[in-house]
Amino acid sequence: MTLPRKHLFDLPPGVIYLDGNSLGPLPKGAAERAQRTITDEWGGQLIRAWNSAGWMALPQQVGDRIAGLIGAAPGSVATGDTLSIKVYQALAAALKMRPDRRVILSDSGNFPSDLYMAQGLIGTIDKGYELRTPAPQDVAEAITEEVAVVMLTQVDYRSGRMHDMAAITARAHAVGAVMIWDLAHSAGAVPVDLAGSNAEFAVGCTYKYLNGGPGAPAFIYVRPDIVDNIQPALSGWLGHDAPFAMEPEYRPAMATERMRVGTPPIVQLVLLDAALDAWEGVSMAEVRAASQVLSERFIREVEARCPTLRLASPRDPQARGSQVSFAFDHGYAAMQALIDRGVIGDFRAPDIMRFGFTPLYLDEADVVRAAEILEEVIGQELWRDPKYQTRSRVT
Ligand SMILES: *Cc1c(COP(=O)(O)O)cnc(C)c1O
């Protein structure tokens, strides 16, 4: 089957959805699957459903499906919790691997929660750790022998700029640092060769390009050859080797499953499992090629139609993830005006209008139409309407 596969999604009529990089749409059938889980399994089978409905196996099954999309071996990806939690776990485990070093290296473009989690962990350990955040283009230079862990998000959430995963991981390893990749804007967006990169850890979320729904469980990858020596900071019972042995001492599972913490969110996992059906038979190379066609076309159209907008993403499609950002002083109001006309993107402070390209359910006609509507909003200054000026809690 070729792309797009719009028939697999429940998109509201009249909407061009360019925000699948933030919250993917509802896959058809997912709601029914969740409904069955709620009424038949929870309602009908009650606690027996952990066994009878296969709930207990679900986190690992879904992890294996995600592994297939990020170039990881089956069994190397655990699911659950939120991405922020998974960042904390990966970082805490990575620091334990380099007890003589005190520097965590990230970059100034990283998503705030990743940096906040690092700050919180540094405070908890209270052993003089330091978080360094050079500009993204200076990261490679900053990987020195002082660095314990390099923690980067591969695709920048604001600009879409992409780090060279293989080169940076190699550089980190050359100085003896541990590598953590955040794949929040990579999983389902760009081909990832996680095993090939040799990185020790990766984390990501599933409600963006993977369409798992709001609050969908996150994932964590641990390189299989090191997992037996990883010390989980959040040593919950479901990361224990034998949760139902109820042993008084923590003893981690002999797999990535040790990075699990507590009871898995079954309804969310069912939604995610259903959402992953849309990826059956699609190669990430095919998705990448289609996404580049869409984003290149969008840039051409917007630059021709809206000269006051400035491209805030790398111009080279190879250096970009699956999103395109434009800077515009009145970006917030302009995005509200655009959304009001059925073209949904989002805004990131201070002035970024962000558009995600998700070839599972977008085609070239959609992006041309989106650019036409954007031209109306900008050219006729429709964004000046007072109703577009008030900021909501979520932008
Ligand atoms: C979306 C995103 C998050 C969000 O974390 P949650 O815990 O899922 O809210 C964190 N980090 C990055 C890099 C992201 O893109």
Q: Which residues of the chain have pLDDT under 50?
A: none
Q: Which atom of ligand 1 is nearest to the CA of 114?
A: 11
135 with 108: CB under 8 angstroms?
yes
Residues in contact with 74: Cβ distance below 8 Å, sequence separation at least 6, in sequence order = 64, 67, 68
Q: Which atom of ligand 1 is nearest to the CA of 110?
A: 13
Ligand 1 pocket: which of 23, 79, 83 to mutate (most atoms within 8 A of CB): 83
State the amino acid at position 188 in one-letter form. Answer: G
83 CB near ligand 1 (under 6 Å): yes
- Indicate the burial class of 5 (C-beta count within 10 angstroms; 0-12, 13-18, 19 or more): middle
pLDDT of residue 1: 56
Tokens of 104: 């965590």
Instruction: Report how far ligand 1's centroid is from the alpha carbon of 246 (Å).
Output: 33
pLDDT of residue 395: 80
Q: Is 167 helix (H, G, I), strand (E, B) or coil?
A: helix
The yes-or-no answer on residue 111 being catalytic is yes
114 CB near ligand 1 (under 6 Å): yes
- Cα dist. 360→8, 217, 345, 356 in Å? 9, 21, 17, 12
In terms of Cα–Cα distance, which of 91, 67, 92 is closest to 79? 67
Tokens of 177: 């640092």
The yes-or-no answer on residue 223 being catalytic is no
156 CB near ligand 1 (under 6 Å): no
Give the torsion sign (CA, 83, 86, 92, 96): negative
Give the torsion sign (CA, 362, 266, 75, 194): positive
What is the spatial distance between Cα 2 and Cα 4, in angstroms, rounded to a whole number? 6
**Max alpha carbon distance in the chain (Å)?**
68
HEC-encoded secondary structure of 331-368: HHHHHHHHHHCCEECEEECCCEEEEECCCCCCCHHHHH
Tokens of 147: 């660095």
Q: N- to C-terminal Cα distance for the chain?
A: 35
pLDDT of residue 356: 98
pLDDT of residue 305: 98
DSSP state for residue 219 in the 8-state scheme: E
Quick one: which H or E segment has residue 31? helix 30-36
pLDDT of residue 328: 97
What is the spatial distance between Cα 157 and Cα 161, in angstroms, rounded to a whole number? 8
Name the architecture of domain 56-279. 3-Layer(aba) Sandwich (3.40)
Tokens of 30: 């997912």
What is the spatial distance between Cα 251 and Cα 243, in angstroms, rounded to a whole number? 9
Nearest 10 degrees: Cα torsion 84, 123, 133, 80 = -10
Backbone φ and ψ for 310, nearest 5 degrees, come out as -115, 125
143 with 185: CB under 8 angstroms?
no
DSSP state for residue 381 in the 8-state scheme: T
The yes-or-no answer on residue 208 being catalytic is yes
> Is cis: bond before 350, omega within 30 of 0?
yes
Query: What does the angle CA 26 – CA 357 – CA 85 come to, to the nearest 5 degrees?
Result: 65
Domain ranges of the chain: 6-26+283-388, 56-279
Residues in a beta bridge with 252: 240
Q: Is 182 helix (H, G, I), strand (E, B) or coil?
A: strand
HEC-encoded secondary structure of 226-285: CHHHCCCCCCCHHHECCHHHCCCCCCECCCHHHHCCCCCCHHHHHHHHHHHHHHCCCCHH
The yes/no answer on whether domain 6-26+283-388 falls in CATH 3.60.130.10 is no
Considering the candidates 19, 114, 156, 182, report the single residue annotated as catalytic.
Answer: 182
